[in-house]
Amino acid sequence: MNVDILLFDGFDELDAVGPYEVLRLAGRHGGDIAARLVTVEGVAAVEARNGLRVRTDGHPDDNADLLLVPGGGWNDSDAPGVRREHERGVVPEFIADRHADGVTVASVCTGAMLLAKAGLLDGRPATTHHTAHEDLSDAGANLRTDRFVDDGDVLTAGGITAGFDLALAIVEDHCGADIAAAVATELEYERAI
């Protein structure tokens, strides 16, 4: 399974790096899974919400099976992040196109607002960071307060650390329970689900 984690300026570090580490560790433990850090524009580096500069792997891969979208910056329209990408529209359009091509789409935290803008959450169960619950509901999603929601071809995780649970569920589904358990043990992470 190939996973592209879609970065943009202002993304929340842990929303992307947490699942990235889970997925990469699963590959090291023998799982048939790989993760890349990509941007729509294919830029070489982006700056995250708290100042971490991240080198990317370039453009998204046409062979990706899953596109993971982090959150960050929804509640601050003056800074780079989800709110700015939501208004700009390029990232939501890309997400919609990838989903239409048959790619499963997942979000962590307020990345769900980009999925909503892409039209993927209309009437569907979804979750996000608690500070955006009302916004997600207003955007047409069937709001759930679960740690993460699996609705088949669209997965959403609540706030920040819920990305670990989402990524571990993906690993378990695609690589098996033993590999997911080995990754959780290596991370010393006690799964919430």
Concatenated DSSP letters for the chain? -EEEEE--TT--HHHHHHHHHHHHHHHHTT-S-EEEEE-TT--SEEE-TTS-EEE---SPPTT-SEEEE----TT-TTSSSHHHHHHH-HHHHHHHHHHHTT-EEEEETTHHHHHHHTT--TTSEE---GGGHHHHHHTT-EE--SSEEE-SSEEEE-STTHHHHHHHHHHHHHH-HHHHHHHHHHHT-----
- Exactly one of 6, 37, 109, 149 is catalytic; name it: 109
Active-site annotation holds for 109: yes
Instruction: Write out the catalytic residue numbers.
Output: 109
